């Protein structure tokens, strides 16, 4: 009995299928960094708005929170980039562009926290 070729879903889109990532998985992979960076933006911007004792309390933990959130976003976005490349996508795939943008945003927000603490 001859072996049959596996269906195209198992071949990681090597056959040229334009759908690298399905719509449900793509939505799930896009929504996580959006929500995370929105909460991170609120946290970083709070340092620019509050003053007095509240700012002192915020600044005690802000840099460690910022570094850990930035590292988490960096790791998550690099995993998404790796997954898209593994599935046969290029750097212009929406998940790749989104990941690069979210990495840049997370680094800028961490720099904003650092600047706010040192003011």
Residue extents of the structural domains in the chain: 23-117
Residue 16 pLDDT: 40
Which pTM does this prediction carry? Answer: 0.78
* Cβ-based burial of 44 (10 A; exposed 0-12, middle 13-18, buried ≥19): buried
Residues ≥6 apart with Cβ < 8 Å to 9: none
Residue 104 near residue 37, CB atoms below 8 Å: no
- What pLDDT band is residue 56 in, cutting at 50, 70 and 90? confident
Distance CA 20, CA 68 (A): 30
Owner of token pair 């334009």: 18
């Amino acid at each position: 009995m001859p072996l049959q070729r596996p269906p195209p879903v198992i071949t990681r889109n090597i056959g040229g299928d334009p759908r690298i990532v399905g719509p449900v998985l793509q939505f799930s992979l896009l929504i996580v960094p959006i929500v995370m960076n929105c909460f991170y933006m609120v946290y970083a911007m709070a340092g620019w708005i509050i003053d007095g004792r509240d700012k002192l309390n915020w600044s005690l933990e802000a840099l460690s929170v910022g570094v850990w959130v930035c590292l988490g976003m960096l790791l998550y976005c690099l995993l998404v980039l790796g997954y898209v490349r593994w599935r046969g996508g290029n750097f212009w795939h929406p998940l790749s562009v989104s990941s690069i943008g979210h990495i840049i945003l997370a680094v800028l927000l961490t720099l904003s926290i650092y600047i706010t603490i040192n003011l």
